[in-house]
Structure 1
Amino acid sequence: MPSSRRLKVVVLVAILTVLSIIYVTKGAQSTYNSPFYTRTVEAIKSRQDTEARQNVIAAEKQRLDRVERLQKEHDGAISAAAAAETGSVMAGGDAAKAAGTEAGPEKQKPLAADIKEAVGEAAGAVKDKVQAQADKVKPVAGRKTMVDKVVQTKPATDGDDGVAKVGNVAPKVSNAIAGEKHGPVSQEDHKVEIELSDILKKGPIIIFSKSYCPFSKKAKHILLDLYSITPPPFVVELDQHELGAGLQAALQKSTGRRTVPNVLINGKSIGGGDDIEALHNTDMLAETMQSMGGKRVVSVAKKDAEAKTEVRFKA
């Protein structure tokens, strides 16, 4: 049994503990609900809201000031540019008026001169383009130069029979060609036009050749013997055709090439013997015929996969 003194101490501690708990719990609730606490909290919140509004107002004012300054600068620049443009126009008008007064109407540049200058500029542009194409030429078998898929020929003369020459061979003069300039030829030209149209309808690939020409033999050997082409190329021997001279002249007008062989794909010339050999050696002949022939050329393939890369003939 504990002593009375110890018992009193225990009871006193218990009472103090209970009172402390009650005070803490009740005191917090009464503090949150007390007028002083609520007024203090409201004052703090009001101050924070006021500061936030002032910050927003200050930022908005700065933005408006910046916009106004930029607007003034923009208006000033526009005004300066307009003034400068007006001054230049007025100065130009005064100069033009002074020039017109001094020179007079007879000194003004005629419209024909402007047209002549424009034509000259266009001719210069065409010349530059032709020069750029000429710079792209590449050597073929050490004998001549050619542009990729573009045939360059020289204009024919009256003494040219249209056959590529080997060595110092004098040109042959055809009687039909020599007599082209004499007498009416309109009816013959009409026959030649009809005959050429009929020939071009016989197939997508036409070989205009001459039986005695070694370059024609080379082109025919490559196209007929080394390749399997469907439909096969159609060969026209101009020296054995009754309208051969007229056909050769018509080919010069339509393709720009007079010499034989002249290989046409869908009416467009891809060159002669050396050109065909170059395309064959670079494995581009089949691709060229298929791309230019379109749907009319059904198939193009080498007959011998081990075909020689260079074809040579003796004259």
Structure 2
Amino acid sequence: MDELIMMAHGSGGKKMHELIRNLFVKYFRNPFLESGGDAAVVPPEPGHIAFTTDSYVVDPLFFPGGDIGKLAVSGTINDLAVSGAAPRYISAGFIIEEGFPVKDLESVVRSMAGTAKQAGVQIVAGDTKVVNKGKCDRLFVNTSGVGIISEKHTHIATADHVKAGDQVIISGYVGDHGMAVLSQREGFPVKTGLKSDCTPLNDLIGKVLERFDHVHFMRDPTRGGVATALCELAEGRQFGVLIKEPAIPVREEVMGLSEMFGFDPLYVPCEGRVLIVADQSVSQGILHTLHGHPDGENAAVIGEITTGNWGKVVLETIAGGRRIIHMLTGEQLPRIC
């Protein structure tokens, strides 16, 4: 293969077909993709169809704990999983800047293939576009995903079953992804060893849903972090959310960097964490299940749904005071995913 991406790789001709065959089909190989049609034809399954799409422009493309490829596949899988769906298929679209190193593109594609395999999901369709040098920043990736939701889980995405007394659970440390990416991008002179939490969560979430029927809501706290995800949950509802600062798991490195650069860890994105709102009767069982999984070892109950403060999220601070948590305004951490 060529060392650098050329405009011809997106022209529809011989160069493009060589790139597809020698790179994308090589790593994403499956019967649906190999059919060579304009659309993947997949078999029907019982249940409701969940469909999601997302675009990834993270800078840098490679960061501690992941890269744009792993992030794209994990993010799409997690959007499906937190909606109560079992992820099945993904499409992948690439917008590539002329002159981008083919070896870097191969690293991204290999990472995507490995992440999809880990999650038991197939990449069944794709597209490649090449733009003139300077018309995009190296590489952008779009992924869409399809999953299947059983009837008993259709309420999870809507939060219609959330009620006062439900417990709020986070599956692990918050803020790792945002601070790992920011540290790499800005070249902070502080060596933290932080890694992104970027990972597919469908196995973890699947185990919870298999064992417990009273999961009322889930969300992955990506852009805007835990604070914004909970504000989205509470907005316009006849309940409030109370979270307790001492209970929220934050690494010392994340806390230190946040204090140093003026960030609040509650707003720092995660890419491998799930917020779960569940009935109090099953919260300890869910916590035990999470602790038994590598992606949930540091899970914690961080709060509860309340009858007061309708539509608001309230933080009980370490000092014992209380303050309202607002949705993120502005752009705290640009190009973090």
More helix by share: 1
- Shorter-chain TM-score bucket reads under 0.3
Q: TM-score, normalised by structure 2?
A: 0.21
Structure 1 or 2, whichever has the larger Rg, is 1
More strand by share: 2
